[in-house]
Structure formats: C-alpha cells, structure tokens
Amino acid sequence: MGYNNPKPLRFVIVDDHEIVLDSTARVVQHRYPEAEILQVPTANQALDLVEADIPDAMIVDLSIPETALVDSFSRARVEVGIQLLTILMERFPTLNIMVQSAHGQALVRLKPSILAHQGGFTIADKSQSMEDMLTKFDWALKGLNYLPPEMRSGLELKPEWLTVLELAFQRGLQDRVIAEEMNIAQRTVRHYWSKIQDALGVYPEEGKNVRIQTEIRAREEGLID
C-alpha cells in the first residue's frame, strides 16, 4: 500500500458528524485529488467497506455508532470505535490508520495492539488544525506511527528494536544488511524504525534527517553507547 500503487489511492473516512465528515473529506481530497474517498458514519459500514476492498488508509473517529439503526444501542460511543479499531488491527495488520478524535486518551487501552500493528498508526485530536491533521494522515499513509506524549510515557522499546539501533548506530549497517543479520524482511526493519522513532518522539521535519535525529535521541536515552 502507498504511493507506488498503480491504481488510485482509496481512503475510508468514518465519522458520524456530517459536517466533520465532509470537511475532512474535502481537505484530504485537496491533498490527494486523484484519490477515491469513501465516507461512512457507522462502524459496521466501515468494516464492510474494508472487507470488500482494503483501502490505502483510513481516518476513524472513536465516538461512532455501531449501526445506522435508530435505537438506544446505536448511539455514538467511544467503545464502538475501540472495538472497530481492535477488529481492523487484528484482521488487517498492515492497514494504515489515523484516529481523529477528541477522545484519543481512550486509546491507551489499545497500546499493545498499536505497538504491534505493522501499518501506519497516528492519532490527531479534533481540536488541532486541519494542517496538523493532514500531517498526521500523511505519516499514517507512509506507514509511520505517532502517539501523543501521554501515551509514550515510560520509554518502551522491544528487544528487536534495540537490536536494530545497535546494528545501525554501533556497527554502521544499512537496513538491507540489518535484515540479513536479524533474518527478517527489510520491510520489517522499516516497521521497526517507525516504532522506534515514535517511542523516541522523532518525526519527519523539514530540513532534518530523521535517522540522524533518531541516533541523537537514542544516545540521549542511553539506548546505545
């Protein structure tokens, strides 16, 4: 999934507020004019779309109804969005997802699943500007990760991520050789880099080399000598 896909990019946006849904779709369409953008207000409709044809990326609100039926069980609830994300990450481990919600703190209960997810996963607060939202969406589409600082508290790096840091910055190996040394796919190495950079709070910035910034932060945290 991503920019080399020969067919047009396909995005799914999930939000039960029509104004937010339309405005988000317009902004994303302006950024990606050739993309096909599908808009749905419920979790069940979103899941049906993804199961029929996996999109390149999704934008998901947390507080959404399960179905379009008008009853006491179909009202918008954060639990419904959490359940949808759980299913999506289980069934589609490489799906790129951006959560756009005012209830992002609720995602802390999904932190282990988010850290294990192989696709991009970013979180944007609805109070942020549309430009900030687009930045987070671009990162998700590129397979990057972004968790808010409060979800990154207490540095958590898995042993295999530390191995990547050691091989890259202490032995000077490139990703292809790191993959051979660890007996994993090069795609997996890139996935590890995304997780490492999110844990260290390193994200793409104009004029800055992400890999160099990662090495600086890793040394500051004492992860490498």
DSSP string, 45-104: HHHHHHHHS--SEEEE-SSB-SSS--STTSS-BHHHHHHHHHHHHHH-TT--EEEEES-G
pLDDT at 70: 60
Q: How far apart are the first and last CA of the chain?
A: 36
Q: In this structure, are 111 and 170 located in the same domain? A: no
Q: Are 58 and 72 in contact (CB under 8 A)?
A: no
**Is 121 within a domain?**
yes
Q: In this structure, are 62 and 168 located in the same domain? A: no
pLDDT at 144: 94
Q: For residue 185, what are the domain limits?
A: 159-220
pLDDT at 157: 79
Q: In this structure, are 134 and 164 located in the same domain? A: no
pLDDT at 74: 67
**Rounded Cα distance, 72 and 74, in Å:** 6
pLDDT at 1: 45
- pLDDT under 70: residue ranges of the chain: 1-6, 69-74, 153-155, 225
Q: In this structure, are 21 and 124 located in the same domain? A: yes
Which helix (H) or strand (E) element contains residue 214? helix 210-220
Digit-coded pLDDT (tens) for 43-63: 999 999 999 999 999 999 999
The set of residues, in sequence order, having a beta carbon less than 8 Å from that of 184 and lying 6+ positions away, is none
Q: Which residue has the tokens 């289980």?
A: 90
User: pTM for the full model?
Assistant: 0.78
